[in-house]
Chain A
Amino acid sequence: MSKKQNRKPDPRHKKCEFCDKEIAYIDYKDYPTMRPFIDYFGNIMARYYSGVCLKHQKMLKNSVERARFMGMMAYRK
């Protein structure tokens, strides 16, 4: 029984957070929304782990790259 409780949730069964909130556009100036999808080293998290759908992952990539260019976000920590 204890084994079942300790088991990690399957990363494949996550839902896209942006789809849940019905977000049509991810702003590059909106750091708080992008932050959960960036790891410690400043890389964008893979879809497999974050559960973001392809459409929103592409949007996220665009906005993160814009934020990086403007110096709002680090390329590499």
Chain B
Amino acid sequence: MPTLDETTTDEDLRTYEFCVLYPCNLSQKEEAELLKNIEGAFEEQGGKQISKDSWGKRGLAYRIKGNDEGNFVVYHYALEGDKLKELDVALRIMPNLLRHIIVKPPKGYKIVKYSETYEKWLKEREGEDDRKKKEKEDKLAKVVADKAKRQVKRAAAKKEEEVVADKPKADKKKISEQLEKLISDDDLDI
């Protein structure tokens, strides 16, 4: 029967991702203390820091404990899996911490600093928004110009019709006048 080897090796260490959210109205001292506490908790469990990515002030999608904005920090630590529960408890009871999440990224996960990519995306989006606005305006201008052209065309067509319609009217008058003349002519013998 195979026995389980309880000694830990380097292979047991896996990269775990921790994301923490704390309010942005903390004083600098409180903030530094909080981050120190968090990092201390990781190190207490024997974690090795791989990366730290602080996003800075970000708006929240919904209000959390009266906060509309918060600071996000994403850590990557190499840790043993069985220490996660204790870490979770430690983070849960930490004061001034709004939310935290522990994620096990899949093997071969490349660490991306989303603070930079998000800013890049925002800039691109602004550019795209401007482009879309311009396109919309161009489209509207085209529609207005087309409408004006059509109106001019319609007016011209109407005028022509009126001219055409007026002509026979004049003829009718003349004809009636001539007819009357003819009728009133006494020399006529019918």
A residues in contact (CB < 8 Å) with B: 24-25, 27-32, 66, 68-75
* Chain B residues positioned under 8 Å from A30 (CB to CB): 112, 114, 117
A68 engages B121 (CB within 8 Å): no
Known A-B contacts A70-B72, A74-B61; the reply to A28 vs B106 at CB < 8 A is no
Please measure, in the bound complex, the distance between the C-alpha atom of A31 and the C-alpha atom of B58, giving whole angstroms.
13
Q: Does B50 contact A (CB under 8 A)?
A: no
- Can you add 5 more A-B contacts, CB < 8 Å, to A70-B72, A71-B60? A27-B112, A30-B112, A69-B99, A71-B70, A72-B61
Interface of B is mostly: strand
Q: Are A70 and B21 in contact (CB under 8 A)?
A: yes
Number of A-B residue pairs having CB atoms within 8 Å of each other in the complex: 46
Interface size of B in residues (CB-CB distance below 8 Å)? 23
Question: Which A residue sits closest to B60, measured CB to CB?
Answer: A71
A70 close to B99 (CB less than 8 A)? yes
How far in angstroms is the closest Cβ of chain B from A13?
27
B62 partner, pick from A25, A28, A31, A74, beta carbons under 8 A = A74
| In-complex Cβ contact of A25 among B58, B99, B105, B118 (8 A) | B105
Q: Which residues of B contact A24 (CB under 8 A)?
A: 106, 108
Q: A66-B103, A70-B19, A71-B70 are in contact. Are A31 and B60 (CB under 8 A)?
A: no
Instruction: Return A48 CB to nearest CB of chain B, in Å.
Output: 26
- Alpha-carbon distance between A74 and B62 when the two chains are bound, in angstroms: 6
Q: What are 20 residue pairs bridging A and B, where the CB atoms are less than 8 Å apart in the complex?
A: A24-B108, A27-B114, A28-B103, A30-B114, A32-B118, A66-B103, A69-B99, A70-B19, A70-B72, A70-B99, A71-B21, A71-B62, A71-B64, A71-B70, A71-B98, A72-B58, A72-B60, A72-B61, A74-B61, A74-B62
Residues of chain A contacted by B112 (CB below 8 angstroms): 27, 30
What is the bound-complex CA distance between A71 and B60, given in angstroms? 5
- Considering the complex, give the chain A residue whose CB is closest to the CB of B61: A74
